[in-house]
Amino acid sequence: MKFLDQTKVYIRSGDGGAGCVSFRREKYVALGGPDGGNGGKGGDVWVEVVQGLNTLIDYRYQQHFKAGTGIHGMGRNRNGAKGEDIIMKVPEGTQIYEEDNETLIADLTTIGQRFLLAKGGNGGFGNTAFKSSTNQAPAHANPGLEGIENDVWLRLKLIADVGLLGLPNAGKSTFLASVSAAKPKIADYPFTTLHPNLGVAAIDSKEFVVADIPGLIEGAHEGVGIGDRFLGHVERTRVLLHLVSATEEDITKTYKTIRHEVKSYGHGLAEKPELVALTKVDTLTPDERKEMAAELEKVSGQKPIMLSSITREGVEETLRAMMSCIETARAADGEKDDTAWSPDNL
């Protein structure tokens, strides 16, 4: 298994070290007194976003993370060392949920971003800290505080600019392979793609990231087929490319099926700008092209792009259309844009 987008892990920050009870006893030195040092702080548990990861597969094999315990204080006013921190490295787009898998703790979307997941316990005071004018020889010290332990869920939502939607065998993987260096599995049977794939596409010296997810079928929001769990990976995209295969018997029903599943999923996915492309047009006659294009335009409300990843017909047009939507979203600086994309805007 090479891809994992959700996993449960156990974390525990380190206990603080205990303070020391010690008295100075040294030959030829009068008036000794307390000299017990403080305990060291327990190690923290951190989560850090690093470059080069796009899966949580490492956490399938290691699911327990315990930070180091603080070193106990010692005599001669020597304080204990801090416990060793644990740093959990995750890819961009990782979300952290509490044990109920519903309460969001953190959403990590930037390389280098760090989040303190569990703070280590403070070290205890040694008996030197309790010395006063009325208690010049304290014989007690504090124990260190215990660390925090918890079970948390890590959930990955890939960060991409464009998300590909469509039924199984709509040509999503073929399109991704034709516009990027990605090498998704391609075959002539349904559900060839079993996990999301990412690729970097380029047009006019500009690059953007494309995410391909397993195909949806009717009832996916109820768990039919692979279900809609992978739709989370296109939640963060700026535009959706809806691919409809020309080999489908009823392209109107095909388009409506995917739109229904997207709306049923929710999370604002249905409100994202959408491009529509009729794929595998190299298998059609000129008359069939016109007929299918008219049907798809009627149901989608926009003129579909005629696309064939094999002959590369319409590939550059599709890339420029996607880049136009991405630049519009970037220019809005993250603000919601209620203006739907239209081919007339190009």
Over residues 311-330, the pLDDT tens digits come to: 999 999 999 999 999 998 88
Token look-up 């990590």 returns: 108
pLDDT at residue 80 tops 70: yes
Query: What's residue 142's pLDDT?
Result: 95
**CA-to-CA distance for 48 and 34, rounded, in angstroms?**
42
Are the beta carbons of 88 and 80 closer than 8 angstroms?
no
Are the beta carbons of 130 and 138 closer than 8 angstroms?
yes
Over residues 172-220, the pLDDT tens digits come to: 999 999 999 877 766 665 556 667 888 889 999 899 999 998 888 787 6
Query: What's residue 298's pLDDT?
Result: 94
- What is the widest separation between alpha-carbon atoms in the chain? 109
| Paired sense of beta strands 239-245 and 274-279, if any | parallel
Architecture of domain 162-345: 3-Layer(aba) Sandwich (3.40)
pTM: 0.79
Q: Where residue 333 falls among pLDDT bands split at 50, 70, 90?
A: low
- Per-domain residue ranges for the chain? 6-156, 162-345
Beta bridge partners of 210: 162, 199
Sign for the pseudo-dihedral over CA of 82, 88, 89, 95: negative
Q: Which of 152, 68, 67 is nearest to 102 (CA)?
A: 152
The dihedrals phi and psi of 136, each to the nearest 5 degrees, come to -85, -5
Give the 3-state secondary structure of residue 43: coil
Query: What's residue 341's pLDDT?
Result: 38
Query: 19-23, 44-48, 232-236: lowest mean pLDDT where?
Result: 232-236
Architecture of domain 6-156: Distorted Sandwich (2.70)
pLDDT at residue 83 tops 70: yes
| Averaged pLDDT, 44-68 | 93
